[in-house]
């Protein structure tokens, strides 16, 4: 009787031996096994004839899950992730798989359906419904404008939308079609296929020449330069070859509009999406459609990198510099880096697209490890012009300069929209006492409390702690407490006073907290019921608002003095991204950046929209300072309610690294930037090497020793290639 070696979701980095059941197993199968006193799902990674474990102690596999075994290439990717990111194999495996596969009582997901209006349904009129039947009205409108809605779309619309749609099936107004059956609504316009520009054609030809082999490319081009059109052409070719495409996009970009654009361009395409907001069943169904080879295109966020795609022919990573490709807990992988590994493993071309590539990717292109393609012009719209507004002489309290106010007024007069963008990284309004220097800090974290104007509370943005606004300084009794810094709420107020007849909409994490709020807001903006938008990061990416012609950036300067060596790179990327929001095909865009340091090289490069010159400068800085991409890093993080425990653990770790290492540098243990978070003290230890291999070798020897310590009351983790220190 054979043995199966099974990976289980537990912190031990080893496989567990089980007796095979009557049937012969293959690697890649999911099985239910007894583990301790419970039953658990495991992934068979090896089969063998014999076990080292005594026969009497060997337990048997209980059942085999009714799922196709994972293919060898997916197992290879999981193994690589586990090794490279120093994550126990079972944890890595189950971080990679959809959650439903973790259930011992797995039921295959119901076939997913999409809801489409029938002929009778298309004749419905929203006015048939009472004015207060908001869900019905909204549903009808959505079914009309998008040609098909899936369960997840309905849930995004309203919690009751599925129930309403089901009742409409009964009425004969709506029919349910199979999920991946392509469907074009009668009269639904497929978007026209553009004649590619010379640059686009060159890019497509260069990349397509590499079909069937590993060839990595950086496709550089500003927003609107036509990268997506290049993706379209490549996908068309991959489909023509009978192959599947994996398209990775940042979390915030995977919007219904994006999917709609793809469906519009390829009405016959079998496309599925994968992201964390899908219901478990839908995510599983889409995964299985990929694994079965049915889905021709999988478009997804970082987690979709693990989808088994038997006919994979092409990988595209859009906005490859985006931070959301890095998983920040459990298996701390970079989906972009894994995508490159996967492309090599599967011998397919990979395209990394960006307006402002990460320095890691830029460096690879510069060293000819990646091919470098550039789309230098926008085929339709001209680029927005970027201007610096010197605010050195401006009174602090004013917040917006005269030049900015005039520009806002002009847009308002022309019925165009403006966006006032606040870079909130390390910057938020807080409360200070000018008499004694007291400032409002969180009692559980080393973070300042943020002053929320509207609810008159101080709130910690790290742990959620909240307290009422004090009437006087808790330290000296001074009654005249002042706000410091500028928040979106203050800006919203200020704009309301300056432009009393303008409709101002604030979009940030607070104002969109309610479910569906952001959805509704986008409708308001597209419907031109908003004049001035005030917002943070959420508005920087991905959203196209055709009437938006002015972007004002209020306070980017703080990032120039950050302790994070990536701050400059991130700021430039973010400003270019937000600049991409201004101006569409027929309306020229303008970007105004308020700064006290107009001469700074970052802003100079920004004005000329010349990322390369700035990237070259940053690279030179990093080379001199020995920072990534010239070295490789791993961060050991530890946290505990006891500060002493953290430091003791890190000191132990440093000690275990041994001496005589030359290729790996270990820095001293230090408190984290947020040294205390929700009552937990945090510290870290940085390991660094000019050689990736050496660092990997070191980590694989080091980690087991850290496990041996069996540290109590300390939580620790290793982060390989961390993007935040």
Of the residues 81, 114, 225, 489, which one makes contact with ligand ADP according to CB under 6 A: 225
**Short-list 532, 563, 562, CA closest to 547:** 532
Q: Would you count residue 227 as binding ligand ADP (CB under 6 A)? A: yes
Q: Would you count residue 250 as binding ligand ADP (CB under 6 A)? A: no
The three state secondary structure string of 240-297 is HCCCEEEEECCHHHCCHHHHHHHHHHCCCCCEEEECCCCCHHHHHHHHHHHHCCCCCE
Size of the site for ligand ADP (CB under 6 A): 15
Q: What's the closest the beta carbon of residue 229 comes to ligand ADP, in angstroms?
A: 4
Nearer to ligand ADP, 193 or 596 (CB): 193
Residue with tokens 């309905």: 154
Residue 290 contact partner, candidates ligand ADP, Zn ion, none, CB within 5 to 8 A by sort of partner: none
DSSP string, 137-177: HHHHHHHHHSS-EEHHHHHHH-TTHHHHHHHHHHHTSEEEE
Residue 100 contact partner, candidates Zn ion, ligand ADP, none, CB within 5 to 8 A by sort of partner: none
What contacts 475, CB < 8 A, 6 or more positions away? Answer: 433, 436, 438
Q: Would you count residue 385 as binding ligand ADP (CB under 6 A)? A: no
Nearer to ligand ADP, 41 or 576 (CB): 576
Listed ranges 3-11, 31-39, 223-231, 450-458: which one lies at the site for ligand ADP (CB under 6 A): 223-231
Q: Is the bond leading into 91 cis (omega within 30 degrees of zero)? A: no
Listed ranges 54-62, 87-95, 168-176, 196-204: which one lies at the site for ligand ADP (CB under 6 A): 196-204
- Measure the CA dihedral 127/129/131/137, to 10°: -90
Q: What's the closest the beta carbon of residue 261 comes to ligand ADP, in angstroms?
A: 8
Q: Would you count residue 200 as binding ligand ADP (CB under 6 A)? A: yes
Residue 337 token pair: 């880096």
Q: Which residues lie across from 664 on neighbouring strands?
A: 689
Nearer to Zn ion, 408 or 432 (CB): 432
Listing from the earlier edge strand, what are the strands of the sheet with 450-452? 450-452, 457-459, 466-468
Strand ranges, E, within 359-416: 371-375, 385-390
Q: Would you count residue 228 as binding ligand ADP (CB under 6 A)? A: yes
Pairing of strands 417-421, 532-535: parallel
Q: Would you count residue 229 as binding ligand ADP (CB under 6 A)? A: yes
Listed ranges 60-68, 188-196, 392-400, 529-537: which one lies at the site for ligand ADP (CB under 6 A): 188-196
Residue 228 contact partner, candidates Zn ion, ligand ADP, none, CB within 5 to 8 A by sort of partner: ligand ADP
Of the residues 221, 256, 589, 722, which one makes contact with ligand ADP according to CB under 6 A: 221
Residue 465 contact partner, candidates ligand ADP, Zn ion, none, CB within 5 to 8 A by sort of partner: Zn ion
Specify whether the CB–CB gap between 505 and 524 falls below 8 A: yes
Q: Would you count residue 223 as binding ligand ADP (CB under 6 A)? A: yes
Site for ligand ADP in 597-656 (CB under 6 A): none
Q: Would you count residue 233 as binding ligand ADP (CB under 6 A)? A: no
Residue 475 contact partner, candidates Zn ion, ligand ADP, none, CB within 5 to 8 A by sort of partner: Zn ion
**Short-list 213, 552, 193, CA closest to 350:** 213
| Cα–Cα distance measured from residue 273 to residue 244, given in angstroms and rounded to the nearest whole number | 13
Specify whether the CB–CB gap between 351 and 319 falls below 8 A: no
Pairing of strands 417-421, 3-8: unpaired
Of the residues 59, 194, 515, 713, which one makes contact with ligand ADP according to CB under 6 A: 194
CA atoms in the 13 A half-sphere facing the CB of 458? 19
Helix (H, G, I), strand (E, B) or coil at 332: coil
Nearer to ligand ADP, 196 or 317 (CB): 196
Of the residues 379, 426, 483, 546, which one makes contact with ligand ADP according to CB under 6 A: 379
Q: Would you count residue 264 as binding ligand ADP (CB under 6 A)? A: no
Q: Would you count residue 354 as binding ligand ADP (CB under 6 A)? A: no
Q: How many CB atoms lie within 10 A of CB 396?
A: 8
Q: What's the closest the beta carbon of residue 480 comes to ligand ADP, in angstroms?
A: 50
**Short-list 240, 229, 157, 173, CA closest to 196:** 229
Nearer to ligand ADP, 385 or 478 (CB): 385
Q: What's the closest the beta carbon of residue 351 comes to ligand ADP, in angstroms?
A: 12
Residue 613 token pair: 């010159």
Q: Would you count residue 77 as binding ligand ADP (CB under 6 A)? A: no
Q: What's the closest the beta carbon of residue 603 comes to ligand ADP, in angstroms?
A: 23
Listed ranges 190-198, 286-294, 477-485, 523-531: which one lies at the site for ligand ADP (CB under 6 A): 190-198
Return residues touching ligand ADP (CB under 6 A): 194-197, 200, 221, 223-229, 379-380
């Amino acid at each position: 009787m054979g043995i199966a070696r099974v990976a289980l979701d537990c912190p031990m980095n080893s496989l567990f031996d089980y007796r095979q059941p009557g049937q012969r197993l293959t690697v890649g199968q999911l099985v239910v096994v007894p583990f301790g006193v419970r039953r658990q799902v495991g992934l068979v990674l090896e089969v063998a004839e014999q076990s080292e474990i005594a026969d009497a102690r060997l337990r048997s596999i209980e059942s085999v899950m009714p799922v196709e075994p994972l293919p060898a290439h997916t197992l290879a990717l999981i193994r690589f992730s586990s090794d490279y990111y120093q994550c126990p194999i079972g944890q890595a495996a189950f971080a990679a798989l959809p959650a439903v596969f973790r259930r011992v009582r797995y039921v295959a997901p119901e076939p997913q359906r999409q809801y489409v209006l029938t002929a009778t349904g298309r004749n419905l009129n929203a006015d048939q419904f009472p004015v207060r039947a908001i869900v019905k009205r909204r549903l009808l409108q959505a079914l009309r404008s998008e040609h098909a809605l899936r369960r997840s779309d309905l849930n995004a619309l309203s919690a009751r939308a599925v129930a309403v749609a089901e009742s409409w099936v009964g009425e004969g107004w709506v029919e349910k079609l199979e999920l991946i059956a392509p469907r074009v609504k009668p009269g639904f316009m497929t978007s026209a296929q553009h004649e590619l520009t010379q640059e686009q054609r060159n890019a497509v030809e260069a990349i397509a020449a590499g079909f069937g082999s590993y060839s990595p490319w950086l496709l550089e081009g500003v927003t609107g330069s036509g990268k997506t059109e290049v993706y379209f052409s490549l996908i068309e070719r991959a489909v023509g070859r009978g192959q599947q495409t994996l398209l990775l996009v940042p979390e915030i970009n995977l919007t219904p509009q994006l999917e709609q654009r793809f469906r519009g361009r390829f009405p016959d395409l079998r496309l599925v999406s994968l992201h964390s907001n899908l219901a478990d069943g839908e995510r599983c169904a889409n995964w299985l459609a990929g694994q079965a080879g049915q889905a021709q295109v999988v478009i997804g966020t970082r987690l979709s990198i693990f989808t088994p795609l038997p006919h994979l022919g092409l990988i595209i990573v859009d906005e490859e510099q985006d931070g959301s490709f890095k998983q920040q807990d459990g298996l701390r992988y970079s989906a972009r880096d894994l995508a490159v590994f996967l492309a090599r493993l599967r011998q397919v071309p990979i395209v990394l697209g960006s307006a402002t590539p990460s320095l890691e990717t830029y460096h690879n292109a510069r060293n000819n490890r990646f091919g470098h393609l550039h789309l230098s012009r926008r085929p339709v719209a001209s680029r927005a012009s970027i201007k610096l507004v010197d605010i050195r002489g401006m009174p602090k309290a004013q917040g917006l300069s005269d030049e900015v106010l005039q520009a806002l007024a002009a847009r308002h007069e022309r019925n165009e929209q403006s966006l006032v963008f606040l870079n909130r990284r390390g910057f938020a309004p807080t409360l200070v006492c000018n008499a004694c220097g007291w400032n409002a800090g969180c009692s559980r974290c080393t973070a300042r409390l943020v002053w929320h104007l509207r609810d008159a509370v101080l709130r910690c943005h790290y742990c959620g702690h909240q307290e009422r606004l004090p009437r006087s300084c808790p330290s000296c009794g001074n009654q005249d407490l002042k706000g410091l810094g500028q928040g979106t709420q203050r800006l919203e107020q200020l704009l309301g006073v300056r432009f009393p007849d303008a409709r101002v909409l604030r979009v940030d994490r607070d104002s969109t907290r309610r479910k569906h709020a952001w959805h509704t807001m986008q409708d308001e903006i597209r419907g031109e019921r908003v004049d001035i938008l005030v917002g943070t990061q959420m508005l920087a990416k991905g959203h196209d608002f055709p009437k938006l012609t002015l972007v004002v950036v209020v306070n980017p300067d703080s990032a120039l003095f950050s302790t994070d060596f990536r701050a400059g790179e991130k700021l430039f990327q973010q400003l270019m991204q937000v600049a991409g929001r201004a101006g569409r095909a027929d309306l020229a865009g303008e970007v105004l950046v308020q700064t006290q340091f107009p001469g700074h090289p970052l802003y100079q490069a920004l004005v000329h929209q010349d990322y390369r010159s700035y990237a070259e400068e940053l690279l030179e800085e990093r080379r001199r300072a020995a920072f990534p991409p010239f070295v490789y890093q791993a961060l050991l993080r530890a946290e505990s309610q006891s500060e002493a425990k953290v430091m003791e653990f890190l000191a132990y770790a440093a000690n275990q690294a041994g001496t005589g290492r030359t290729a790996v540098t270990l820095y001293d243990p230090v408190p984290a930037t947020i040294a205390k978070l929700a009552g937990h003290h945090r510290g870290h230890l940085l390991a660094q090497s000019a050689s990736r291999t050496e660092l990997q070798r070191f980590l694989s020897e080091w980690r087991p020793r850290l496990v041996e310590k069996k540290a109590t009351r300390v939580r620790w983790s290793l982060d390989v290639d961390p993007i935040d220190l």
